[in-house]
């Protein structure tokens, strides 16, 4: 069974631009979560999608948005990029999102110059 796939692996953008990151969950998994990892801050929760609906949302500004498609694939978009958005963005999937472990992708390393 293929794992969680995130593309692209690396991304370099400049301030003010927007970016879209993609995540393909494990086959059969309907819950997809997004996390931001920065040094010293651990993994900060962005949002979770289940059956194309945003079920939970973290404390990030509206510049961060996401969506999920009918095949459970998910995209995350960040508009008007800021230097502080430089981070590793991780996607995780699980069958239902209910008290079960998450399976993570390798992440997309975003650098904002």
Partner 1 sequence: DQQVKQNSPSLSVQEGRISILNCDYTNSMFDYFLWYKKYPAEGPTFLISISSIKDKNEDGRFTVFLNKSAKHLSLHIVPSQPGDSAVYFCAARRNNNDMRFGAGTRLTVKP
50 to 22, 55, 70, 106, 111: CA distances (angstroms): 16, 6, 10, 21, 28
- Euclidean distance between CA atoms 109 and 101, whole angstroms: 23
Backbone angles phi, psi at 71, to 5 degrees: -90, 15
Interaction between residue 1 and partner 1 (CB under 8 A): no
> Can you tell me which of 29, 48, 76, 112 binds partner 1, judged by CB under 8 A?
48
The residue within the footprint of partner 1, chosen from 25, 66, 78, 97 (CB under 8 A), is 97
Exactly one of 24, 29, 32, 35 binds partner 1 (CB under 8 A); that residue is 35
Q: Binding residues for partner 1, per CB under 8 A?
A: 4, 33, 35, 40-45, 48, 55-56, 58-59, 90, 92, 97-99, 101-107
């Amino acid at each position: 069974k293929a794992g969680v796939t995130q593309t692209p692996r690396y991304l370099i953008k400049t301030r003010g631009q927007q970016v879209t990151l993609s995540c393909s969950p494990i086959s059969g998994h309907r819950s997809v979560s997004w996390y931001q990892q920065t040094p010293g801050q651990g993994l900060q929760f962005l949002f979770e999608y289940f059956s194309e609906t945003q079920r939970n949302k973290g404390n990030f500004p509206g510049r961060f948005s996401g969506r999920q498609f009918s095949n459970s694939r998910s995209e995350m978009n960040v508009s008007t990029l800021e230097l502080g958005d430089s981070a590793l963005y991780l996607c995780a999937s699980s069958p239902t999102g209910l008290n079960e472990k998450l399976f993570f992708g390798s992440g997309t390393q975003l650098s904002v110059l």
